[in-house]
Chain A
Amino acid sequence: MGHDHDHAHDGRLNRRDMMSRCAGWAGTAAVYSVAGGVVSSGGLDAALAAGRPAIEARPFTFVQISDTHIGFDKPANPDVRATALQAVERIKALAVKPNLILHTGDITHLSKDEEFDTAKQILAGLDVPIFYVPGEHDFLDEGQGKAFLAHYGRGTQGLGWYSFDHQGVHFVALNNVAALKPGGMAHLGEDQIAWLRKDLSGLPASTPIVVFAHIPLWTVYEAWGWGTDDADQALALLRRFGSVTVLNGHIHQILHKVEGNVNFHSARSTAYPQPAPGAAPSPGPLRVPTEQLPSMLGIRSARFVPGREPIALIDASFA
């Protein structure tokens, strides 16, 4: 395509700038319509007043990558940059080019500037817009999240949450790694849940929803903090929709749960595996024989076809 591929949100920069300039953006959703190939946007209030414009639902493929942990250098994987590059190669080799990529956080290992920069350089090899949510490893700077938001916060609300529509699917990006409470698990917080309520209100129940957040939005294993203590409030808002796909990272392994119309999926890391719940004294990096490592890392592709629910997911390991 020939233009600069810095894909924080730049692949959709024009839309995102439009979103941030929409009157009433703060606390409301932006609604896009496609008519005759022309994209226009408007605040949610305007859309509700006008009658919600029809969003043309068309099939497309998207990808989830997670937990690249750029900066990690321990025995579980001494070269996380190489395995992140493998993810890039795998995505480039997909039979159908994805329209967009979701990164479900822990982009970096220690929130250092050079780690954010290296991650950007590696992922710039993909000619596809990438949408990020932070992991707790991305909120470790002195400013407790300012570094992540400087890189990826443009057009987002609060501590980095946002939503967007693509060919009929409503994507919701949540941050459940800020302001964690002692003794708790992950946390969304009142402001974010209030924003989510407004964001979803007015959407027809037939709208397919994809929610992505770093830490699982269902309780995988409370003793290791693998869950979100106020996720039930978010789930209550999502239950009326016919198809909800929740994509998470953090636990570096694939686990699923189905609750009515809500399908939860955690993902592999591109960096290192972690033990199954309770299978080790703690959830730290899991060392496996070198030849086994590629089979425990991977990416996920998703195929949306209007009318076919839930969204089909294909997990692919590097071996």
Chain B
Amino acid sequence: MSLLTNVSRLALFAVLAAPAAAYPSPAAAAAAPAKVQKVAIDNFAFSPQVIVVPPGTTVTWTNADEDPHTVVANDKSFHSAAMDTDESYSFTFTRPGEYAYFCSLHPHMTGKVVVKG
């Protein structure tokens, strides 16, 4: 079970998976359309603040503020680099559960990803 931590790695994985389609492999199944959910970071808030997604969803946060922000899981299960304006961070949630997170620069900014099958 691989956890992809940014959009470019997701794209690379999809490219590498394509030639492997000739062989039966789990990679072929993973290349099926991925579930994607977007969260905007705007005015020092995550929007939507709480999202509910099925397992296997890739959530992409994009920063619209002129200040950088980060996305850090309360339980440290994911931790983005600093996102400057218009930069993004993605994480694929494979396990059901509730993932509260916050911005480590501005900890009053909080959000939650609820993963439900």
Contacts and interface: CB of A to CB of B under 8 A. Distances in A.
A181 B105 contact: no
* Interface magnitude class on chain A: 20 to 34
A183 B72 CA distance: 12
A283 interface: yes
Given A110-B82, A182-B74, A182-B102, A284 B43 contact: yes
Interface of B: 43-45, 65-68, 70, 72, 74, 81-82, 84-85, 100-102, 104-108, 110
Q: Is the interface of A mostly helix, strand, loop or mixed?
A: loop
Contact of B68 (A140, A224, A282): A140
A182 B66 contact: no
A224 B100 contact: no
A91 B108 CA distance: 35
A74 B67 CA distance: 9
Interface of A: 74-76, 109-111, 136-137, 140, 142, 180-185, 222-225, 281-285
A183 B110 contact: yes
B107 A285 contact: no
A228 B65 CA distance: 24
Contacts of A109: 68
Contacts of A110: 68, 82, 84
A3 to B, nearest CB: 36
Most buried by B among A109, A180, A181: A180
A282 B43 contact: yes
Nearest to A285: B66
B106 to A, nearest CB: 6
B106 A225 contact: yes
